[in-house]
Structure 1
Amino acid sequence: MATVVMEQIGRLFINAQQLRQIPQLLESAFPTLPCTVKISDVPWVFRERHILTGYRQPDQSWRYYFLTLFQRHNESLNVWTHLLAALIILVKWQEISETVDFLRDPHAQPLFIVLLAAFTYLSFSALAHLLSAKSELSFYSFYFLDYVGVAVYQYGSALAHYYYAIEKEWHTRVQGLFYLSKLLSFGVGAGGGGPPLPRRGGGGSDPVVTYHFYHMVFFLISAYFFCCPHPESLFPGRCDFIGQGHQIFHIFVVVCTLMQIEALKIDFTERRPFYERLHGDLAHDAVALFIFTACCSALTAFYVRNRVRASLHEKEE
């Protein structure tokens, strides 16, 4: 009996020793990262107006920039807001897929596209804010990728609204011009991609109008903070880590996207007899044009990135 007890005590001692080694293992897995630096210590391309500290050092290893996901720096909130939002989109995608057959239902394809586009722009944005500090070429490369996500989302957003939320009189006016206009203008917006608030019979009695309304409100607010460096311009150095206008933009554009998806989900369910008669087999064309738009955007970004790389090489010589 005593031998058994001593064996158990020995096992507990070994387990306790292993537990005490966990912090050391974590420390070796996540080594101490270099401290952030001031604006004067980074090249001009990384400098943000009125943001004076919290910059990550350039020319480090890729591992370093991935690990800065868990470091406090002036891009931390920009990374996490869109990273968490991308995960929320995946959860919503899973929830919707339990009742919607995206593969076999052609009229569900625009909804699938807007979910895919939302996940794409949020993921690309998080990657850009996380990894762009490595070098000047990385800065341009990842933000070009970010713009591809914006372009894809603009198309997906406009498509879904055109397909599910449009009224018959508007459909008659813009049919035939819609897709061409979106191809010509996909690179203009800042990430909202929202159409005008749809006219609905019954006014405020239709609850989905509330989602569409707040979608537009949050889009306009986010556009303001995207364009104007507030509040950091009023308090230089006070918003280096929390409170930047771009961080506020991220939050509002995420809420805008979630309002949009909720509205489109309701429209997809409740307006099906209407848009089935209105569009027919148009969903197949929409998928093909989505792929075309994504490819054109990616090729454009790749071409411009190569031009930037060549220009940087010329400067070095």
Structure 2
Amino acid sequence: MPGDILQRLTTLTLSVKQLGRLPNLVQRLPSSLPSPSPTVGASHVPSLFREPHILTGYRPLRQKWYCYLLSLFQKHNESLNVWTHLLAAPVLLLRWWSNVGTLGYTLDISSLPLCLFLLSAIFCYFCSTVAHLFQSHSEQAHYYFFFMDYVGVAVYQYGCALGHYFYTSTSGWRASIIGYHFLHGTAIFGLLSSTGCCLAKSRYRKPYPVQRKICQLIPTSLAYFLGISPVVDRLLTGSWTEEPSLNFHVLQIVFFLSSALFFSCPIPECFFPGKFDIFGHGHQIFHVLLSLTTLSQLEALFQDYARKRDQVIDIFGETQIWWACVSFPILVFSCLLVAFTSMKYMHKKLKQN
């Protein structure tokens, strides 16, 4: 089983290894196309854009928008942040179609939470890709795109919760207080996660105070731990020999907790400032591990769905499934409203400065 798991995850890892060749592509573009400006050091960009221990590889501000689009093929300190999530989406789709063919997947109400999980993951990676690609245009763009990135994270959290609730949870867990309040609880925490991140981003400036981390981490952590609770219960009560999906659930937890470490700590660049500016700094590793988390989730949920698909409607009823899935666009709209409100606030704040 471990060998099979590693083989399924190899596709994404191999794709990431090819990224070292990408910087050469910008040199092969037709000469008629404009080229992005050369990257600059940290002292040439405002403090908002500087990352700890990253000394070079910053893209100059206020270039034409198409220059940032073309920087997709340029070597800079956001290159891997863009490509890891840009490549993750097609890899997820490929694994989706592979599982569809293997499991005899049918599109009906019982598979709707699984579809929304995939949609939420792709939406999250799209928002992240766009944010890292275009945020260097200006301070306003930086704030606007990362507000949308936080929307993607909140939507992804709820998409995961839907999959875990309808395919992974046990009857004993659903009868508990946590299980009873799970769906609306994860939706509320998802909205609070988006709100907390937008608030922290818009209110605090560098050097960041500890309150900024509190605004970001508390609602996001609560959303994660509630969303993963049916998986933890299943790991503690399920049969590991009869349920191979549990191996992928373990992997998703290991990958996510590892990604949280690299997100919170600037490793390894804090030990070697300037050595990991372009490739290998902590946020890039975080992106790779998060992509592996989602891929592991997809494999686990497909196996749980295959085992349970004939019972989903009998267990939950069509009404509950529909209401849970209708909550998905409501959450998206609510998070977008928070993001647009934050954009309006930042627009006024930047004009005053």
| TM-score, normalised via structure 2 length | 0.78
2:105 counterpart letter in structure 1: V
Q: Which string of whole-angstrom CA distances, capped at 9 and with x for unpartnered residues, describes residues 74-95 of structure 1?
A: 0000000000001212323444
Using the TM superposition, give the Cα deviation of residue 302 of structure 1 relative to its aligned residue in structure 2, in angstroms: 0.7
**Contact 2:111 / 2:309 at 8 angstroms: preserved in 1?**
no
**Equivalence map 1:167-246=2 (5 Å):** 167-173=170-176, 174-186=178-190, 187=193, 188-189=219-220, 194-195=228-229, 196-197=231-232, 198-199=234-235, 200-246=237-283
Show CA shifts across 1:202-235 (max 9, x none). 2344211101111111111011111111111111
Structure 1 contact 229–246 (Cα < 8 Å) conserved? yes
RMSD: 2.0
Amino acid paired to 2:57 = G
- Is it true that 1:289 corresponds to 2:293 in the alignment? no
Cα displacement (A) at 1:280: 1.2
Q: Provide the rounded CA distance (Å) in 2 between the counterparts of 1:280 and 1:68.
A: 49
Q: Distance in 2 between matches of 1:209 and 1:259?
A: 10
Q: Conserved in 2, the CA contact under 8 Å of 1:59 and 1:135?
A: yes
Instruction: Specify whether residues 314 and 124 from structure 1 end up closer, same or farther in structure 2 by C-alpha distance, changes over 3 A only.
Output: same
The correspondence for 1:115, drawn from 118, 127, 141, is 118
Give the direction of change, closer, same or farther, for the CA distance of 1:202–1:94 in structure 2 (3 Å limit).
Answer: closer
Across the two proteins, how many residue pairs are aligned to each other?
291
1:50 corresponds to 2:87 = no
Residue 316 of structure 2: which of 272, 276, 279 is its match?
279
The 2-side partners of 1:100 and 1:60 are apart by 47
Out of 295, 298, 303, the residue aligned to residue 261 of structure 1 is 298
Query: What is residue 64 of structure 2 aligned with on the other side?
Result: 61
In structure 2, the residue matched to 1:101 is: 106
Q: Which residue of 2 aligns with 1:310?
A: 348
Q: Distance in 2 between matches of 1:294 and 1:119?
A: 14
Name the structure 2 match of 1:84.
87
Q: Distance in 2 between matches of 1:107 and 1:286?
A: 12
- Deviation, 1:25, is 9.3
Question: Matched residues in 1 for 2:146 and 2:180: separation?
Answer: 32
Return the alpha-carbon distance in structure 1 between the equivalents of residues 302 and 326 of structure 2: 22
Unaligned ranges ≥5, structure 2: 1-25, 194-218
Unpaired segments of 5 or more residues in structure 1? 1-22
Q: Matched residues in 2 for 1:275 and 1:172: separation?
A: 16
Distance 1:312 1:93 in 2: 43
Rg larger for: 1
Post-superposition shift, 1:35? Answer: 0.7
Please state how far the C-alpha of 1:189 moved relative to its aligned partner: 2.7
- Using the size of structure 1 for normalisation, the TM-score is 0.86
Q: Return the letter of the residue paired with 1:178.
A: F
State the AA in 1 paired with 2:335.
Answer: S
Identity of aligned residues (%): 40
Match of 1:299 among 330, 337, 353: 337
Instruction: Kindly indicate which of the two structures has a greater share of residues assigned to helix.
Output: 2
Which residue identity lines up with residue 100 of structure 1 in the other structure? Y
C-alpha displacement at 1:33, in angstroms?
2.5
What SS class does the counterpart of residue 34 from structure 2 fall into? coil
* Contact 2:147-2:339 within 8 A present in 1 as well: yes
Partner residue, 1:3? none
Which residue of 32, 37, 41 maps to 2:40?
Answer: 37
Separation in 2, partners of 1:172, 1:189: 25
Partner SS, residue 67 of structure 1: helix
Deviating above 6 A after TM superposition, structure 1's stretches of 4 or more consecutive aligned residues are none
Contact 2:161 2:183 in 1 (8 A): no
